[in-house]
Amino acid sequence: MTKGTSISEFLKQGKSLFSLEFFPPKNDAGGKRMLSTAEILKPFNPDFVSITYGAGGGTRKTTMHYAKILKQEFGFEVMPHLTCVGHTKKELLEILEDFSKEGFCNIMALRGDPPQGETTFQAVKGGLSYANELVALIREYFPHFGIGVGGYPEKHPEAPDKLTDLHHLKEKVDAGADFITTQLFFENKAYFSFLQECKDTGITVPVLPGLLPALSLGQIQRFCKMCDASLPEKLANELINAEESAQPKIGAKWAKEQVEELLNKGAPGFHLYALNQSASSLKILNGLRKQGS
Ligand SMILES: Cc1cc2nc3c(=O)[nH]c(=O)nc-3n(C[C@H](O)[C@H](O)[C@H](O)COP(=O)(O)OP(=O)(O)OC[C@H]3O[C@@H](n4cnc5c(N)ncnc54)[C@H](O)[C@@H]3O)c2cc1C
């Protein structure tokens, strides 16, 4: 992807896209690990990398700090994430202004999760309640940004049912989102059904599948519980029967096979939740390279 282009423009060209997701590290050691992962995966030329935005005051600086390093030192097209958590509309506009001044031209617009210990999301006074409001804000004040939003093949955990969730997803697209990146899923049929459901709801923007290479049974059990994603029995059994040290290899093989099928059946590309670790992503990308995917 040419640097400085919007991801939606790239997706319109119909070329298969590959992207990686990092998260802002909590300390220097984590920072070193993240940057070393970026160095190791750079030769695979991701079309863009994204960096998440966590809850709490520190994230504003940390996301920006690492987004700049990934852009300036590694030359990646970087899409910072932004959430509504704890911010007023005025603060969100300031953060967007900073991203714009630094030359970022794509944003992943999210509501965010309720802060730890709280079960429901509460907007701060003068803040935003849902991601569609953030998308609308970006479109109004920073129309040049490409905007991605989150989509949930197996339904967002808070949504009462799939149809309601899809209706809210359409509101994000109608507000100006250019593309959707999905929550993790381990069975491709969840993605393909979601695509059809999006189409039936009138959502026509590209849907980029988001994939997490499992590192251990415990890890994906936690993730699946958190996001209401299904854990296929076959994958669970393979992990149960393997030594702990062999589990990442099983997770990477599973994710690689998911990518192969997704691309063969016309997905616009894939987004890897790399979790600031290189080993599994390396296995997947080397495996795909060998097979010329
Ligand atoms: C690709 C991706 C990247 C992510 N990156 C981050 C990150 O960087 N940082 C982070 O903290 N979290 C991140 N998350 C997690 C995300 O913040 C949570 O899943 C959060 O709970 C929902 O965010 P959202 O933007 O999808 O919210 P929304 O689209 O606002 O939806 C949240 C819930 O509210 C419902 N809803 C939406 N609009 C309305 C409405 N108008 N009225 C009533 N109900 C409504 C939806 O159906 C859904 O159940 C990411 C998720 C994905 C899929």
Classify residue 36: in a domain, yes or no.
yes
Task: Tell me, in angstroms, the distance from the centre of ligand 1 to residue 162's CA.
Answer: 14
Residue with CA closest to ligand 1 atom 37: 168
Per-residue confidence (pLDDT) for residue 117, from 0 to 100: 81
Total number of domains in the chain: 1
Per-residue confidence (pLDDT) for residue 24, from 0 to 100: 93
Per-residue confidence (pLDDT) for residue 292, from 0 to 100: 63
Per-residue confidence (pLDDT) for residue 293, from 0 to 100: 55
Classify residue 92: in a domain, yes or no.
yes
Classify residue 53: in a domain, yes or no.
yes
Closest among 128, 135, 147, 51 to 90, alpha carbons compared: 128
Q: Does residue 83 have its Cβ closer than 6 Å to ligand 1?
A: yes
Model confidence over 7-39: pLDDT tens digits?
Answer: 888 888 888 999 999 999 989 999 999 999 999
Phi/psi region, residue 22 (left: phi>0; alpha: psi -120 to 50; beta: rest), is: beta
- Interatomic CA distance for residues 14 and 17, integer angstroms: 9
Range of the domain at 246: 7-290
Q: Does residue 150 have its Cβ closer than 6 Å to ligand 1?
A: yes
Q: Does residue 113 have its Cβ closer than 6 Å to ligand 1?
A: yes
Per-residue confidence (pLDDT) for residue 85, from 0 to 100: 93
Task: Tell me, in angstroms, the distance from the centre of ligand 1 to residue 113's CA.
Answer: 7
Classify residue 2: in a domain, yes or no.
no
Q: Are 181 and 205 in contact (CB under 8 A)?
A: no
Query: What's 104's domain CATH number?
Result: 3.20.20.220
Query: Which pTM value belongs to this model?
Result: 0.96
Please list the active-site residues: 21
Per-residue confidence (pLDDT) for residue 97, from 0 to 100: 98
Task: Tell me, in angstroms, the distance from the centre of ligand 1 to residue 75's CA.
Answer: 29
How many other C-beta atoms lie within 10 A of the C-beta of residue 270?
A: 25
Classify residue 207: in a domain, yes or no.
yes
Per-residue confidence (pLDDT) for residue 3, from 0 to 100: 64
Those residues of the chain that have pLDDT short of 70 are 1-5, 55-58, 291-293
Classify residue 1: in a domain, yes or no.
no
Q: Does residue 19 have its Cβ closer than 6 Å to ligand 1?
A: no
Per-residue confidence (pLDDT) for residue 181, from 0 to 100: 98
